Amino acid sequence: MPDVIYGVDVSSYQGEIDWEQVKAAGIAFVVCKASEGGTASPDRVAYFKQAVKGAHEAGLLVSGYHFYRGSADPYVQAEVFFDAVCQCQYEMDFCGALDVETTDNTSRSYLSQTVAQCMQSITDKWGKHPMLYSYVSFLENSLDLSYFGGYPRWVADWGWCEIEIPGVPDWECELPSGWSYTDCWQYSESGVVAGVGGPVDLDLYWGSAEQLKELGSF
């Protein structure tokens, strides 16, 4: 069986987190929301900076994600994301991610082109390709995946039961048509992890911690 490491992704919705407990629960990595759309939120950035600091000092691998808005300029969004990352006390341990799950009433063609522009801009700033995150039906219906063949993949496919870490889910991750793998799998939106005061998204990465650090390298 290949290496598997477990992670969580969080936002300010989770509130204060005891990262030492999260680490002790078997979590190896965290992806924290850094930004959304084309305007920076001081409160969101402050939460992101604190989460990165706490998780890093607890010994977790840490990175950030940006929630993409189809109605906002893709290059401005890349700048907002990277600016938040640069404000952190510690460097990110692995590539960032672009969370794309709303069209904002834009067309499939327009959204695909602008998401690709944003991801290329993030690549240019970061020096690594970001992950593309979404759920299967959105990937299939709202994006032209031919634009994203060279980017790491993070697919959301949730089960219907409460899951505690650690443990590989007993179902296979559904993938969009044309994809034979995903690098990361978000397998629950309602996980239970010590140190987090409510439901939290659960993720796994098919590989080792060292491989995660190199994800998106070119």
| pLDDT confidence bin for 3, thresholds 50/70/90 | confident
pLDDT (0 to 100) of residue 2: 63
Local confidence band at 168 (pLDDT 50, 70, 90 cut-offs): low
> What percent of the chain stands above pLDDT 90?
88
Is the sign of the CA dihedral 7, 8, 9, 11 positive or negative? negative
The pTM of this model reads 0.94
Question: pLDDT tens-digit profile of 37-80?
Answer: 999 999 999 999 999 999 999 999 999 999 999 999 999 999 99
Average pLDDT, the chain: 93
**pLDDT (0 to 100) of residue 63:** 98
Q: How confident is the model at residue 167 (pLDDT cuts 50, 70, 90)?
A: low
The confidence score (pLDDT) of residue 170 equals 62
Residue 3: which of 172, 183, 186 has the closest Cα?
Answer: 183
**Minimum mean pLDDT among 10-24, 113-127, 166-180: which range?**
166-180
Query: Whole-angstrom Cα distance, residue 170 to residue 156?
Result: 15
Helix 74-86 to helix 108-126 angle (10° resolution) is 30
Domains and CATH numbers, the chain: 5-211 (3.20.20.80)
